[in-house]
Amino acid sequence: MFAKVWRAMIRKELNELRQRNEKIERELKKDEQILHNTIKILLLGCGEAGKSTFIKQMKIIHSSAEDTWSKEQLENFRDQIRRNVICSLQLLLRNKTRDLPIGFENNARKLEDLDEDRDQDKLHQHRVFIKEIWQHQALQETFRRRKDFHLPDSAAYFLQNIDRISGQDFVPTNQDILNIRVMTTDIHKYEFQVKLRGNIKNITMVDVGGQRSEQRKWLHCFDDVQLLIFLCASNEFDQKLLEDSAKNRLEESIEVFTKLMKHPWFKKSSIALFLNKKDLLQEKVKYSQLEDFFPGFREFKNYKPYDYDSAISYIQHLFMTIEDEQGKPLIGTERSVYSHHTCATDTDNIKTVFQQVKSSILEKIIRIHLL
């Protein structure tokens, strides 16, 4: 009798063990299928290159209008925009080199005393004066010197829209959201799907902070990266790093890109270079000469002063001609880099560029790595 009960217990345990093994195998097979259908894209670049904006564009492009942002996200974006306005105003006032009219001084001090978090509601009562002081020659001259004190690129956009932004019923638009400047101090991931070679593929896009203090976090994101997109703010050729006032931002970007091209983790990864903020570069070269900061530009075969096409071509040339320690080109016949000129705040531009990335790079990844 005991032996019969014992055998029944053994059979039950074996049956349960077999069921657990089958469940584990099904889950492993499912995970393997998901991995097989997933392309991991890593966004890298120095601070303020536009990585977070690019991630937002992917969400705008690949989500339905009603599902793009939650109510909580929109409220958070509203607060971030108003912080950007207060911060930009205070930076302009602190760095002005021309005195304001006597009648402006009292109100200007009130703006300088605003707290970015507690006083956002006060923007509405100050909106008329904000428009006046923004248009005043003293602040416009300071704005033209913005490269000297790290004014956010979106300052003009938000200050020109102060009536709408300061309103009690303000709900940020996609364009407002794309212009927000918030330092990325963590790792952000966005997952979406695209159709490639007739099949639906999962895309996992990862964005990490670009400041020097954040770059150590990149190592945790390198595993299984099939596409590295490196973003460079092309308009920063005459600016210094926030973390190092002696270091040119474009030089820093080229040096970081060079290190990544040498890194063994990316030997099998496809590489795309996005020379971003082309709209700001186009405006800047009208008054700031690239050759004053990069004298080699004068010897460039397509050199033309105050010319956007010439400037962007030279900046691209600087990236595409990087070398290893032996002086050998890191980019050439054995390794290609796909280059694009982008404006991360322009949805149509990013939609076009990402379509080109899909047809030229992602299709190749599917053909080589996932079949």
The reported pLDDT for the residue numbered 369 is 54
Half-sphere exposure of 148 (CA within 13 A, CB side): 11
Hey, is 81 helix, strand or coil? helix
* Cα separation values, 324 from 255, 257, 263, Å: 11, 12, 11
- Taking alpha carbons only, the member of 325, 360, 342, 293 closest to residue 45 is 342
pLDDT in tens, the chain (371 residues): 555 555 656 666 666 656 665 554 444 444 444 445 788 999 999 988 999 999 999 999 998 877 899 999 999 999 999 999 999 999 999 999 888 888 888 889 999 999 999 999 999 999 999 999 999 999 999 999 998 888 999 999 999 999 999 999 999 999 999 999 887 667 888 898 888 777 888 989 988 765 555 555 555 556 678 899 999 999 999 999 888 888 999 999 999 999 999 988 888 888 999 999 999 999 999 999 999 999 999 999 999 999 999 999 999 999 999 998 888 888 987 788 999 999 999 999 999 999 999 888 888 777 665 44
The reported pLDDT for the residue numbered 219 is 56
The whole-angstrom separation of Cα 259 and Cα 217 is: 15
pTM: 0.84
User: Which element (helix H / strand E) includes 303?
Assistant: none
Q: Say which amino acid occupies 49.
A: A
Q: How many residues does the chain have?
A: 371
CATH H-level superfamily of 71-178 = GI Alpha 1, domain 2-like (1.10.400.10)
- Taking alpha carbons only, the member of 185, 182, 183, 203 closest to residue 194 is 203
Contacts of 257 (CB under 8 A, 6+ apart): 230, 232, 273, 319, 322
Fold identical between 42-66+184-365 and 71-178? no
The reported pLDDT for the residue numbered 23 is 52
Cβ 303 vs Cβ 369: under 8 Å: no
Say what angle helices 102-112 and 71-94 make with each other, to 10 degrees.
140
Cβ 146 vs Cβ 169: under 8 Å: no
The whole-angstrom separation of Cα 243 and Cα 150 is: 11
Query: For 306, left (φ over 0), alpha (ψ -120 to 50), or beta?
Result: left
* Cα separation values, 80 from 22, 169, 356, Å: 50, 16, 32
Contacts of 192 (CB under 8 A, 6+ apart): 58, 59, 62, 63, 202, 203, 205
Hey, is 289 helix, strand or coil? coil
CATH H-level superfamily of 42-66+184-365 = P-loop containing nucleotide triphosphate hydrolases (3.40.50.300)
Residue numbers annotated as active site: 48, 53, 181, 207, 211
Looking up tokens 């962007």 gives 312
Q: Which two tokens stand for residue 362?
A: 């992602």
Domain assignments of the chain as residue spans, ordered by start: 42-66+184-365, 71-178
The whole-angstrom separation of Cα 87 and Cα 77 is: 15
The reported pLDDT for the residue numbered 115 is 92
